[in-house]
Structure 1
Amino acid sequence: MSIEWVNRAIDGLRVWGKEKGVEVDVDEVRLLCDYASDYLEVNELGDFKPGTFEELLLEIYPRKVIAPPETAPETVAAARTLIEFLVETGEIATKVAARMRATIDRIGPEMPAALADTSKYGMAKSIFSAIGADSLELGDPLPVQGATAEAVKDTATLDEDCDCPGCAPLPPVRLPAVADVVAAARQVPLLRDAHTVAGWLADHDRTTTTRRALRVKDAKQINRELGVAKPALAWRLALELGLADLTGITVVKETGFRSLAERAAEEVLDLWVGTVEFLGEEGRDVTGEALVDDAIYSIHDLLYRLQEPVPFDQVGDYLREVGDGGLVEDLPAALAALSYAGTVRLTPGGLALTDHGLWGLREMYDELGLDAPVAPDLAAGDAGALISGLLHEWFPDEAAERDVVRWLAARTPAEAAAELLSAVAGAPAQVRGVAVTIVDRLNHAAEPAVRGHLGDPELRPHAIHWLSSRGLDAPPLSEAEMLWVTVDMLALALPAAEAEPERFAENMGASGPPPEVIEDLWRVEHPDLVEVLELLGQTLPDEMAAKAARKAAFKARSRGIR
């Protein structure tokens, strides 16, 4: 973040402090200079103004710096030291210094409250506060993958033994092709409008207010003549992205300014990531509904973690929780307006991220130093990679189905069956079950490969079932094989049963094995036998069947099966 003038200023400050016998908090002063350079167009020490300190202490610091309210006096003191350095080295006039001191006197007492105000937090500060800063309590919950919007609770500080949403790792995501991201970003209304507004203001020699805001008359003219829906928002984005500069208060285009359509792909990607970051920094007037605008970063994070559309009523419940019970006057209209930013889309199932929105969020998380993994393309790997990927709970069903279809499309049925079944020879039941399930989708052309595994004791019962269910010649299943395959299929369901025991019990009540079959399962030589029987004994709604399972588990343990 530091640039040359900042480095020179800090070196001079150290010398000045030593000569004057003044204790200088160099780190705090450097941070003041860094943020002034990055966000307030301070390019040298003489550019500091009284208003610079007001924006730094009440706007930039609360948005960017993870610090408890009680540290505010340290930052205020560093600002006062910087003022004395500026005036004594001749960088500012005495009268300017007096106005700066008066500004500090006025705003200093307000800084602790600003640091404590969670509505001022930017995206980076909010995320890092949620995962690691035990000195801050974050009021904006971050959802955990797999949770519903109603179930999201307040975050806690990072704890390796904690399973709260704020401590949950980001799930792996499937990213779209970069070319598709570039093409979609070029069509984002807000990003295009930022270029339009920056170019128009510069071409017409317009000026901003002293706080760099768009003048009301210009905003009205831009809206009327150019059709820009949110001129003030587009202008703030243009400034943030460096599409325009200010000479005093006069707007000038960036060097080599070009329209979005004319920019190279890498430029477009950088501008898109900057847009995503801009939306998350603080409440933006995107929709006109304060509750929605203040929670844009939380909405993004919710959708990123769930990786599926969130029903609109659940979005409303989530917003009420984030907003301490507040209500959105017109939620459907607000969510539709949010699509202006390009990060979300409305679907029949609810609100979801756009593909380029997902890509931009992942890039932002990565830049923040968070672990933002990318899910592999399962269709590009071999059978082992496909099965391993499908076994991960984070993998969305729709993405899994697409990968399976593409993987099978690259092979003949016989090739697919041979590769899948060979990959799971001697594997655990869950792994074997995934392969068998995919093979079950194949047509008669897979017969030679399936028949070739009749000699494998663990795959033989599945191969017999596959052949006989298609009316093909197959040996009969022995009683022992029938019992073995029953245990094997139940073992495949163990993870789902542990996650949703009530649903598993309901399914078993409707189609589970009868008590007389369960009683005989204790004889089966299967590594998951006891676990399967214990699960049946705990979950089966039929007490007779549950008792049979518990009895069979006891017999299996007596045989030495664990």
Structure 2
Amino acid sequence: MAGRRRTKPDNPVESGSGAKAEGLLPADYELADLYGAFAAHGREEDDMDDAVVLVPPVLLPPEAELAAAALAVPLIDHALKLARWAAPHRPVDEFGDLTGPDRAPAARLLGLAPEQGDAPEEAVIEAMRAWSLACDLELVEIGTTADGEHVAIPGPDLADAEQGDPETVLELWLTAAGIVRELSAEADSLALEGEGEGAEGAGAAEETDEAGLAELEESRQAAAELLDEALQVLYETTAFAEPGQETVPLGVLAALLVVPEGEEPDEEMLGEITDLMVTLDPMLGDLAELGLLEHRPIDPELFEEESGEEPAVDGGGPLDEAEAARFGMVRLTALGQYGVRQWLLEDGFEAPLVGELAAGTAEELLRGISETDNVLPERELAVWLADREPVQAARELLAAARGTDPYGPVRRLLCLSALEQLGAGARPAAQEVVDDPQLGGGVRAWLLEQGLEVAAPEHGVVLWTMVDTFAAQLLTSEGRSEALQELVDGLPVDDDPEGFFAELWRIEHPYTAEVLDAVGELHRDRGIAKEARKAAFKARSRRGK
């Protein structure tokens, strides 16, 4: 797939408040008014630093389920039916198309035309589309008889596809989706070319010189790249979205492609967003026919010229969900996620699946999550926990969380997150380790949150756990998360910073010096920051570095 123009996967788009009263098209509205009814998809700002190079993991259904979804796509179903109908052979013309006498029967076979009377032209066209797809997918093969007659016969993959073989079905569907993807971009480029020709007259339209062909190819490539960018954005927003929240307003999708990260859209950008919406809308509609998307097109009434009547949308205030939906909605289906992922893999991207790290032991799980950049930890933990008994799962995770190696703090942070998912069922295992010097501090805090009475840990354990918690945030956020800043702001150092840090720098933890460095850099009180830096120097000297 083509590289994206934007730098972040799902930056929430915000703007000022009031929409213009004369607004009709998206360019006439503030984005916050147009799309404020919809939650932003994805992670917070500080979690996106590596998104430009990393494709997030997705959770896909089993291949058998995906294959069933592919077979339920009407165009695929029609192609299979026509391929079977070709048995033992069916006459075709020299181009492989159905001959005139077979076209109406083909439409009737597919239920597109009534059994009696003439078949509507639209039904015949749709049947011919399905036949063309069957030929492209080699569900039928074209040959010539000894008499020179052109005939079609069922292809070798037809039987496996009809039986629902997942590998065969998904390969056919992916090929079909690729064909539609290419044709959609080509149709868009031809439409743009036609608009350009209209101003020059019929003579210019007939020109076929090299410059004109090059311009057409450039237009086709631009349309293909735009569609690929949009699909990759949808893939990423779907990966980060909570279940049931995968639908994206078309304007938000366009804004994510237009508005630079960290900026608010200006009037020119709002115009670009509208243009992009209009360009993407028919292309996404084409892909929806293959089940790759669920797509609600832009309401055509929004583009009707005003002739004295009230505008189609009242721009006097914020839009609710129903009104905003008139500007188009799109959702990448599970089948669509499968397809986009395959295209990403073909282009050399790493596109992991949720659950790939959850196939082994607790130790392998925590180590894998800790050492992998491209991972959604909460979902990976959920997959591992799904079929396990809570107490035993908690025991295994707690045992795997111990250690003073470089990733130890992250493993303990992940373990506490897993305990949160397990809930009350993990309490017995947690109570078994309340006196553990590495696990006890965090586990006691979790048990207190569970409503259990737990004795306070020793002061040294409290300080060690504090350093460990800071270290985990440093390792997972590269020192730039809001959570880390909150930890720094919440340090109990106001009364006696010198005494506090005098204790802290003596804590035997592999990240003591680094934690004190972070406090020295991030604390808002200059005096406290200075004491932290002095303590960091002492901690580093103590360990001989």
Deviates more, 1:545-554 or 1:422-431: 545-554
Match of 1:423 among 400, 406, 410: 400
* Rounded Cα–Cα distance in structure 1 between residues aligned with 2:374 and 2:366: 14
Deviation at 1:183, TM superposition (A): 1.0
Deviation at 1:390, TM superposition (A): 3.8
**Is 1:436 matched up with 2:416?**
yes
Deviation at 1:556, TM superposition (A): 2.3
Aligned partner of 1:275 in structure 2 is 176
Deviation at 1:301, TM superposition (A): 3.7
TM-score w.r.t. length of structure 1: 0.57
Deviation at 1:187, TM superposition (A): 0.8
Match of 1:344 among 274, 286, 293: 293
Aligned partner of 1:551 in structure 2 is 534
Match of 2:139 among 234, 243, 256: 243
Match of 2:379 among 376, 393, 399: 399
Deviation at 1:233, TM superposition (A): 5.2
Deviation at 1:506, TM superposition (A): 5.3
Deviation at 1:176, TM superposition (A): 2.4
* Rounded Cα–Cα distance in structure 2 between residues aligned with 1:444 and 1:201: 61
Letter in 2 for 1:539: L
Deviation at 1:430, TM superposition (A): 1.2
* Rounded Cα–Cα distance in structure 2 between residues aligned with 1:179 and 1:299: 27
Aligned partner of 1:527 in structure 2 is 510
* Rounded Cα–Cα distance in structure 2 between residues aligned with 1:181 and 1:365: 18
* Rounded Cα–Cα distance in structure 2 between residues aligned with 1:172 and 1:440: 22
Q: Secondary structure at the match of 2:72?
A: coil
Q: Is the 8 A contact 2:75 2:130 kept in 1?
A: yes
* Rounded Cα–Cα distance in structure 1 between residues aligned with 2:99 and 2:236: 36
**Is 1:254 matched up with 2:192?**
no
Match of 1:185 among 70, 75, 79: 70
Q: Is the 8 A contact 1:279 1:296 kept in 2?
A: no
Deviates more, 1:363-372 or 1:240-249: 363-372
Q: Secondary structure at the match of 2:152?
A: strand
Aligned partner of 2:336 in structure 1 is 357
* Rounded Cα–Cα distance in structure 1 between residues aligned with 2:479 and 2:150: 61
Cα deviation per residue 1:531-557 (whole Å; 9 max; x = unaligned)? 112222222344444334323323323
Task: State how 1:251-400 maps to structure 2 within 5 Å.
Answer: 252-255=152-155, 261-262=162-163, 264-281=165-182, 283=184, 295-304=226-235, 307-308=239-240, 309=246, 312-317=250-255, 326-329=275-278, 335=284, 338-345=287-294, 351-363=330-342, 373-391=352-370, 392-396=372-376, 399-400=379-380
Q: 1:284 to 1:534 in 2, by over 3 A?
A: same
Cα deviation per residue 1:393-416 (whole Å; 9 max; x = unaligned)? 42236733632551xx52142x23
Deviation at 1:486, TM superposition (A): 1.3
TM-score w.r.t. length of structure 2: 0.59
Higher relative contact order (CA 8 A, sep 6+): 2
**Is 1:538 matched up with 2:521?**
yes
* Rounded Cα–Cα distance in structure 2 between residues aligned with 1:264 and 1:466: 48
Aligned partner of 2:460 in structure 1 is 480
Q: Is the 8 A contact 1:197 1:235 kept in 2?
A: yes
Deviates more, 1:264-273 or 1:312-321: 312-321
Question: Aligned pair count?
Answer: 405
Deviation at 1:253, TM superposition (A): 3.8
Cα deviation per residue 1:163-187 (whole Å; 9 max; x = unaligned)? 895xx46555544212112211111
**Is 1:410 matched up with 2:388?**
yes
Deviation at 1:281, TM superposition (A): 4.3
* Rounded Cα–Cα distance in structure 1 between residues aligned with 2:166 and 2:396: 40
Identity of aligned residues (%): 28
Task: State how 1:21-40 maps to structure 2 within 5 Å.
Answer: none
Q: Is the 8 A contact 2:96 2:150 kept in 1?
A: no
Tell me how large the CA RMSD over aligned residues is: 4.8
Q: Secondary structure at the match of 1:462?
A: helix
Structure 2 spans left out of the alignment, 5+ residues = 14-49, 114-118, 193-221, 241-245, 260-270, 297-320
* Rounded Cα–Cα distance in structure 2 between residues aligned with 1:219 and 1:314: 43
Letter in 2 for 1:238: A
Deviation at 1:338, TM superposition (A): 3.1
Structure 1 spans left out of the alignment, 5+ residues = 1-126, 131-139, 151-162
Cα deviation per residue 1:301-335 (whole Å; 9 max; x = unaligned)? 444456344653342135669xx955332866764
**Is 1:452 matched up with 2:432?**
yes
Task: State how 1:89-128 maps to structure 2 within 5 Å.
Answer: 127=1
Deviates more, 1:355-364 or 1:330-339: 330-339
Deviation at 1:490, TM superposition (A): 1.2
* Rounded Cα–Cα distance in structure 2 between residues aligned with 1:467 and 1:267: 51
Q: 1:548 to 1:337 in 2, by over 3 A?
A: farther
More helix by share: 1
Q: Is the 8 A contact 1:143 1:149 kept in 2?
A: no
Q: Secondary structure at the match of 2:278?
A: coil
Task: State how 1:502-517 maps to structure 2 within 5 Å.
Answer: 503-504=482-483, 507-508=486-487, 511-515=490-494, 516=496
